[in-house]
Amino acid sequence: MLLSKSCVYGLRASIYLASKSDEEFNSIKEMSDKLEISFHFLTKILQQLTAESLMESYKGPKGGIRLTKKGREATLLDMVIAIDGPELFTQCALGLPGCGSATPCPLHESWIETRASIQGMLERTTLSELAREGKQNKFRLMADGSFNWD
């Protein structure tokens, strides 16, 4: 798989939160239920994103989590790098440390292009814009397509 499961969970949660009000803290439990992701597992992933100031959380009753301004203006690429790390966008396709334009591996040239395509897909829009598109097109965010964008 291109992205780890943790990463995919983080992206789906990011898009979920982007579809919500900027000010309100959203219950993680409610989100994990709606997205059908293990609650405790999801909290750990979200903590990686709050560590990067892409999200902020609040404890106690009425507590929850929301995107920061930085997070709303960030792209999925920022989320991916925060969770899976930058390796996908820096490493050789064959994992050869010395690979570069000087002494490339057989895939090097194509991989530069393909990698740019992956990167482009992830940084095409900000999360705010993605949420707008999502509401408009009612994009799928769950296996069974039951997510409600309103």
Partner DNA sequence: TCTATTTAAGAGTTTATTGTCTTAAATATA
Partner DNA sequence: TATATTTAAGACAATAAACTCTTAAATAGA
Q: Please give the residue ranges that form the binding site for its own copies (CB under 8 A).
A: 1-3, 5, 8, 11-12, 15, 76, 87-88, 91, 93-99, 103-108, 110-111, 113-114, 117-118, 120-121, 124, 130, 133-134, 137-145
CB 34, CB 16: distance < 8 Å: yes
Helix 76-84 and helix 5-18: axis angle, to 10°? 140
Give CA–CA dist 21/108, Å, rounded: 43
Which one, 46 or 76, has the nearer CB to DNA? 46
- Given its own copies, DNA, none, residue 43, with its beta carbon under 5 to 8 Å by kind, binds DNA
Please give the radius of gyration of the chain, using alpha carbons only, rounded to the nearest integer.
17
Q: Applying CB under 7 A, does 130 fall inside the site for DNA?
A: no
- Given DNA, its own copies, none, residue 91, with its beta carbon under 5 to 8 Å by kind, binds its own copies
Which one, 60 or 145, has the nearer CB to its own copies? 145
Contacting DNA within 36-65 (CB under 7 A)? 38, 40-41, 43-44, 46-47, 50, 57-65
- Given its own copies, DNA, none, residue 121, with its beta carbon under 5 to 8 Å by kind, binds its own copies
Report how far Cα 60 is from the mean position of its chain's Cα atoms.
Answer: 26
Which one, 91 or 129, has the nearer CB to DNA? 91
DSSP string across 19-75: TS-SSSPBPHHHHHHHHT--HHHHHHHHHHHHHTTSEEEE-STT-EEEE-HHHHHSB
Specify the residue for token string 């334009």: 101
Binding site for DNA (CB under 7 A): 4-6, 9, 26-29, 38, 40-41, 43-44, 46-47, 50, 57-65
